[in-house]
């Protein structure tokens, strides 16, 4: 996930640099980290790896959650590396409530550059799925180690699929916008259309979240609804910004054409 321009989220603490890119964590990241550890230690790992004691489940949960957020960071670094190759500076990467965001310092030069950048993060995640999956199935370590590796493969599959949903500001929404931009040559129009699709998908996610509470539990259902709300709001914001830019551009061109057609007055 990424956005163009702007500053870091308020409440972000910078923790260092990775490959020359500033990395920070928002305070909301700590909340999600704790929820993941609690869910894994109390529910997931006791079900997938029975017979271990509580301390082992707690260690598994902390390690798995840390490596998961490491996977998110690598995903965003995939975007950052492609952006550099396209000549766009990265202001930084922030880990927060809904995952990670890479902040671009400026717009991309072309639709093809947008497409390559959008696919950079998912490509990294796909590699991680293979690595964790192979490690879990082909190695013969302790049950706890295999359990963590298997969960990391599973959660990165979920991350990959979710990010490819064609809804701005997700990577799939960026892919959709790049294809529309390439087809029509109009970045603003492509953003408005992709934003509208994102809003529809966001509403569907909110509805699905509340409808699934009975089956997935209140945490899973409400979390999906919150993610849907974020997608709905972010997609709308990008579409509105693009629409305003298009309106200003059209007005500017109309004014320039009017001045060009205006007859000149002169003395006889």
Q: What is the pLDDT along the chain (268 residues), one digit of tens a residue?
A: 555 444 556 667 788 888 888 898 888 888 889 989 998 999 899 999 998 999 999 999 999 999 999 999 999 999 999 998 988 888 888 888 777 888 888 788 899 999 999 999 999 999 999 999 999 888 777 788 999 999 999 999 999 999 999 998 899 999 999 999 999 999 999 999 999 999 999 999 999 999 988 887 777 788 889 999 989 998 888 888 776 665 554 445 544 455 555 555 444 4
Computed from CA positions of residues 130, 31, 232, 106, in that sequence, does the dihedral angle turn out positive or negative? negative
pTM of the model: 0.83
The token pair that represents 81 in the structure block: 């590396």
Q: What is the pLDDT of residue 248?
A: 56
Q: What spatial distance separates the first Cα and last Cα of the chain, rounded to whole Å? A: 64
The token pair that represents 171 in the structure block: 């990577």
Q: Please enumerate in sequence order all residues whose Cβ is within 8 A of that of 100, keeping only pairs 6 or more positions apart, or say none.
A: 1, 72, 73, 75, 76, 93, 94
Could you give the residue numbers annotated as active site?
Answer: 76
Q: What is the pLDDT of residue 17?
A: 86
CA 136: distance to chain centroid? 26
Q: What is the pLDDT of residue 195?
A: 92
Q: What is the pLDDT of residue 122?
A: 95
Q: What is the pLDDT of residue 259?
A: 55
Q: What one-character DSSP code corresponds to residue 109?
A: S
Alpha carbon separation from 179 to 4, 75, 83, 187, 238 (Å, rounded): 18, 22, 18, 10, 17
Q: Long-range contacts: 216-224, Cβ < 8 Å, 24+? A: 219/35, 219/39
Cis ω before 169 (30° cut-off from 0): yes
* Number of other CB atoms surrounding residue 19 within 10 Å: 11
Q: What is the pLDDT of residue 267?
A: 47
Q: What is the pLDDT of residue 238?
A: 83
Cβ atoms of 13 and 25 closer than 8 Å: yes
Tell me how far apart the alpha carbons of residues 171 and 183 are, in angstroms, rounded to a whole number.
Answer: 18
Q: What is the pLDDT of residue 56?
A: 94
- Residues paired with residue 90 on neighbouring β-strands, in sequence order: 104
């Amino acid at each position: 996930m990424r956005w163009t321009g702007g500053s870091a989220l308020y409440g972000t603490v910078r923790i260092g640099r990775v490959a020359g890119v500033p990395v920070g964590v928002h305070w909301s990241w700590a909340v999600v980290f704790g929820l993941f550890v609690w869910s894994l230690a109390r529910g997931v790992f006791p079900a997938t790896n029975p017979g271990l004691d509580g301390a082992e489940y707690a260690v598994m949960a902390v390690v798995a959650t840390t490596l998961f957020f490491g996977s998110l960071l690598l995903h965003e670094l995939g975007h950052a590396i492609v952006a550099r190759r396209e000549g766009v500076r990265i202001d930084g990467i922030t880990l927060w409530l809904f995952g990670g965001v890479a902040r671009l310092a400026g717009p991309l030069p072309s639709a093809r550059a947008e497409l390559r950048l959008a696919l950079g993060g998912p490509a990294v995640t796909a590699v991680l799925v293979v690595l964790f999956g192979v490690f879990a199935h082909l190695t013969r370590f302790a049950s706890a180690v295999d359990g963590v590796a298997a969960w990391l493969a599973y959660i990165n599959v979920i991350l990959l699929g979710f990010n490819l949903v064609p809804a701005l500001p997700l990577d799939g929404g960026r892919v959709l916008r790049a294809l529309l931009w390439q087809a029509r040559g109009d970045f603003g129009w492509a953003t408005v259309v992709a934003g509208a699709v994102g809003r529809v998908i966001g509403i569907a996610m909110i509805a699905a979240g509340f409808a699934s509470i009975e089956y997935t539990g209140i945490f899973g259902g409400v979390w999906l609804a919150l993610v849907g709300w974020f997608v709905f709001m972010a997609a709308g914001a990008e579409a509105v910004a693009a629409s305003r830019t298009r309106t200003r551009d059209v007005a500017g061109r109309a004014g320039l054409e009017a001045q060009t057609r205006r007859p000149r007055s002169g003395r006889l």
